[in-house]
Amino acid sequence: MHLRHVWVSLMKALLFFASVIALPAMGGPASTTLCYDKPAENWEKHALPIGNGSLGAMVFGGVNDAVVQFTVDSLWTGNENPSGSYKNQAAKAGESNFGSYQNFGELHFISAANEPARNYRRELDIARAVHTTTWQRGGTTFTHEAIASHPGQVMAWRISADKPGQITGTLALTGAHPEEDKFELLDGRTLRLSGTFLNGLRYDARATIVAEGGKLASADGKLEVTGCDAITVLLAADTNYVMDRAVGWMRGDPADKVVPRIDRAAKDGWKLVLEKHIADHRSLFDRARLNLGASAPEIAALTTDRRIALYREKALDLPRPCIDPELEALMFHYGRYLLIGSSRPGTLPANLQGIWCNSNKPAWFADYHTNINIQMNYWLAETTNLPELTEPLFSMFTSGVPVYRESTVKEYGADTRGFTTRMSINPYGGGGWNWNIESTAWLAQHFWEHYAFSNDKKFLRESAWPWLREVSYFWLGRLKEIPDGRFVVPNAWSHEHGPHEDGTAHAQQLMWDLFTNTLETAKILGEDPAFQQKLTETRKRLVGPKIGSWGQLMEWMEEKPDLEKGNHRHTSHLFAVHPGHQITLAGTPELAEAARVSLEKRGEVGDSRRSWTWAWRTALWARLGQPERAHGCIAGLLAYNMMDNLWTICPPFQIDGNLGITAGMTEILLQSHAGEISLLPALPTVWPTGSVTGLRARGGVIVDIEWRAGKLASATLVSTTDQSVRVRVPGQTATREIKLSKDQPFKMEG
């Protein structure tokens, strides 16, 4: 991020932090706070997530037994899995095995009191990334606060009361792997959980109590506190995983990382750990804010589960209302909160569940699915101004290239150039399930888009170009020429829908996208003119999008009415609309209309009601200029696939719906894929007045927008470079040509 933007973001963070300090600890804004009046009973439906990129925890907010379940992003079984099998357990060491993301364990604080609690409240303030629980018992107010600190690399759990000497109870640390787990009591105040998996991965967690007043003792492998004024529980956990095949993906002792984190946090103390944590979180979170107007006071005052329930009651059918604008804004902010909590430079990327997992055999092993899910996880990163959070995506997939190459050669022959992958990927470069040969082409788009938004030529040359070039090599040698001289992708799939056939629309659109981005990269970098020529000629001969007999965008080369008119969850044949840009309203209006017909026929019933499906279709409808349908998907997600803790459910829980809906909502407000910056391109009538700050357009332009009575009131653009841009204003047929000076705000009125 440019220095000036960093400074502006820091100033905003400091000013907002100063204002927050003056507020009560509870009762945050309805658009940035989740709140409840009872403890969580179910991990998936009720508990609330905190995370620092690698360490993820779910807080239940219990009174007599307060539970925090946790794990770390690299706690994986499996290996490079040369067999391609899709199973999560090996019978013996060294056996080819895909593996699975794992649960680490739980912390329990068991209170000695047994009187009933009154005035209970549990909340997650996502603007500060602080979970707080309060209740009253016997004239005393008890408060539990929990954070997952990125600067400190610890989870800190503060347990206090408004009267001295009231904290008495027992802290227990439990594990999730009975055969491997080893428990130790260290130095009279620290619990240790460690072990080694069959694949050689070592793991280590330490929980330390810092007590204020009272007594701290140990018994039966637990820590006991008596009569304390407050305690702070510090948890650090890690593995010996390293993102480097050259050292076998593992190195050293995780204790060498865990112990210094605990020691440093204990020395800093709760107040400083909290201050550093909030400042770090706000430096990212405050870059973008959405205001959709105030909800009715009687709705805003409800607990979050009751606010969601209103959509289940009143927003089942089109046209769907905006019952609670602050809840819809909360969804936007929550997606950003979850990505901040599950993807930081140096961590693994967010998987199917982000970094939150309470099972040793989660659905689809909580892996990295490459046919929409991992991609959707990161759509919001560029557009909502969190570009550095994409680093784990690029790092993990780049580190896996040597394994992908070997697997590709094994499957497609020794003379194969480039590489591809199977559908599911693990952190060791291993692939599982079937071959998703288009996967690397879709991932290539993310490498290009990171440059398109940032103008970072160093990234383009060192990271994007190698990936784009090698994936293009694979496809230049793989395409099939049909009798009329055009090229198709052989034996392709419209993901999870219908047969494998030559030339599916999805595969063809991906090839166009891949070759277009690779060609543009080669031109910018001045690389390999002969390669550029080959890409240009091949792209011209690709079978392109085709309109069918009932006006639809065809999904296969031959029509399949029963499948095309079904309610399937995937819309793979509309990739060219979003996240691609081959089909646009202004550039290819006939194809855009055909895409609209297809999307309309896909419907919103049955299999179409999936968490991530609503998110993708929000973006698709926005790109197609259909604002009411776009908003209908936002409300539909709340009505059909949202749990009480605001997690999206496929079912089961998948985080792509949470992250994807933020990206879809952004497409409603700002688009820049068609060579212009389009302001409010799909503003629904149910959002008549509002504002958004800190969105990001391609070319390195930060955009703030305000609208009133459904019309643009003003917009401010700040560019990282001197450049001219074309801006499209709603209601005007011609675009405006605007000259932007580096770092100088340009304000335009509606």
Domain-located, residue 712: no
Mean pLDDT across the stretch 239-265?
98
Domain-located, residue 258: yes
Per-residue pLDDT band for 32 (boundaries 50, 70, 90) equals very high
Give this prediction's pTM: 0.96
- Predicted local distance difference test score (pLDDT) of residue 262: 98
Tell me the C-alpha distance between 459 and 373, whole Å.
24
Per-residue pLDDT band for 385 (boundaries 50, 70, 90) equals very high
Tell me: pLDDT of 25 over 70. Answer: no
Domain-located, residue 411: no
Q: Please state, rounded to an integer, the average pLDDT across all residues of the chain.
A: 95
- Predicted local distance difference test score (pLDDT) of residue 114: 78
Helical residues (DSSP H) of 318-420, grouped into ranges = 325-342, 373-377, 379-383, 391-399, 401-412
- Predicted local distance difference test score (pLDDT) of residue 221: 95
Q: Looking at the 3D structure of the chain, how many domains does it have? A: 1
pLDDT in tens, 601-634: 999 999 889 999 999 999 999 999 999 999 999 9
- Predicted local distance difference test score (pLDDT) of residue 112: 86
Domain-located, residue 186: yes
- Predicted local distance difference test score (pLDDT) of residue 26: 43
Tell me: pLDDT of 21 over 90. Answer: no
Domain-located, residue 540: no
Q: For residue 326, give every residue at least 6 positions away whose Cβ sits within 8 Å of its Cβ, in sequence order, or none.
A: 29, 30, 31, 292, 293, 294, 295, 300
Tell me the C-alpha distance between 600 and 326, whole Å.
28
Residue 196 domain boundaries: 3-286
Other beta carbons within 10 Å of 504 = 28
Identify whether 319 is preceded by a cis peptide bond (ω within 30 of 0): yes
- Predicted local distance difference test score (pLDDT) of residue 3: 37
Identify whether 579 is preceded by a cis peptide bond (ω within 30 of 0): yes
Which residue has tokens 């006006």? 551
pLDDT in tens, 292-309: 999 999 999 999 999 999
Domain-located, residue 478: no
3 state SS for 66-103: EEEEEEECCCECCCCCCCCCCCCCCCCCCCCCCCCECC
Whole-number Cα distances in Å, 498 to 548, 560, 572, 576: 17, 9, 11, 19
pLDDT in tens, 520-537: 999 999 999 999 999 999
Spatial contact of 473 and 417, defined as CB atoms under 8 Å apart? yes
Domain-located, residue 618: no
pLDDT in tens, 624-680: 999 999 999 999 999 999 999 999 999 999 999 999 999 999 999 999 999 999 999
Other beta carbons within 10 Å of 744 = 11
CATH classification of the domain holding 143: 2.70.98.50
Per-residue pLDDT band for 28 (boundaries 50, 70, 90) equals low
Whole-number Cα distances in Å, 637 to 346, 495, 646: 32, 22, 10
- In a 10 Å sphere around its CB, with 0-12 CB exposed, 13-18 middle and 19+ buried, how is residue 41 labelled? exposed
Domain-located, residue 330: no
Mean pLDDT across the stretch 171-182?
98
pLDDT in tens, 443-497: 999 999 999 999 999 999 999 999 999 999 999 999 999 999 999 999 999 999 9
